[in-house]
Structure 1
């Protein structure tokens, strides 16, 4: 189990092109300790009450300085009606799909990151642009090995959810969790790395209310630069040279 201290220093310094809406996607659902929360349709057209904040478009965020980097397209100031119950150490499964829910996630090159921020009060009233984020999980290539497949290729791209666990030392409280898929198939050109962030409202119980939340945080937008080595990168060269993505 990774804790805050083992992840705070991680750097993203070290993906097949499909034209049409199917080349992009959204967080379809999350499952927390076996309980599934379906995500809303685009613009919540299905009027689903969800803990996942709705987005307005399944296209990627390309402008790294855009407010959309916080929670996805059009979701910077959007909230969700529900909050999902969790506890320290809870297993969370993220199930992503393309713009058509029955079609798997289309991309297979790039990492995934998970961040969490404390809500000041009820997350249903919390603006994601005010969030102070801590990274709690990351995955690049399987086992962080040079020969390892990209994590997207072995999970989302083949209709398998990506699984991680909340830190065991997570204090009790209300949280906004930001799960992010980064597609690097065109990232050899500046501004063409594709970011797909999505935010989930959580209520964590069972943790110590006296535990300290780390003070070293990042903002979205602001955490990344378009020229960071893990963002402006030729992923195919990394694969050919069998370099580890760190």
Structure 2
């Protein structure tokens, strides 16, 4: 466990065995990659002061990752995101900016420009904006009922009996288990029956799940592990590292 230093902030806990020592403050965990054989860090987080380490710079195509400066030119031509964008724009149904709205609706204004406009507001202007948002929300929003349902079928995940190399936090497990519990309450999941076909529960094995925006695949994996559903199809545009299916 971390200890509280003089400045009042808790220091990061020790990294898990075989894990990169780089601490990710926004995610409040260490990097999930394996360290290099001669270092405590992975290739992405190797300090520039380390022997043989080069300077890493953000990828101009996808700034969410970095590359060695000396390899930048070669990387740009084969960046996975560039290939994904090229494949998408080549589709017959693709039309750039089709969902951006009309010029009157702010077409052409980027997210960064919108954020900058908010940052330029004075404190009084910002409070007035919040008041307008709350007023509109109160006028049109229906009451949202909280429903935290975790069924006994998810005990396997809730008790940590699932062996995963993939790092996840307890709140994520509880969230996925509650989503599944509410799905069952709404009748989206068939409850188990006693009919067995080829060694499997017939009602469960007949179900199929398609998850759009699947991310790393946690939700569907809970269904597979806890409900025995085998007919699954995950749809995700982004290529995520450390998908749950790769950590089994």
| Length-normalised TM-score, structure 1 | 0.21
Higher relative contact order (CA 8 A, sep 6+): 1
| Length-normalised TM-score, structure 2 | 0.21
Larger strand proportion, structure 1 or 2?
1
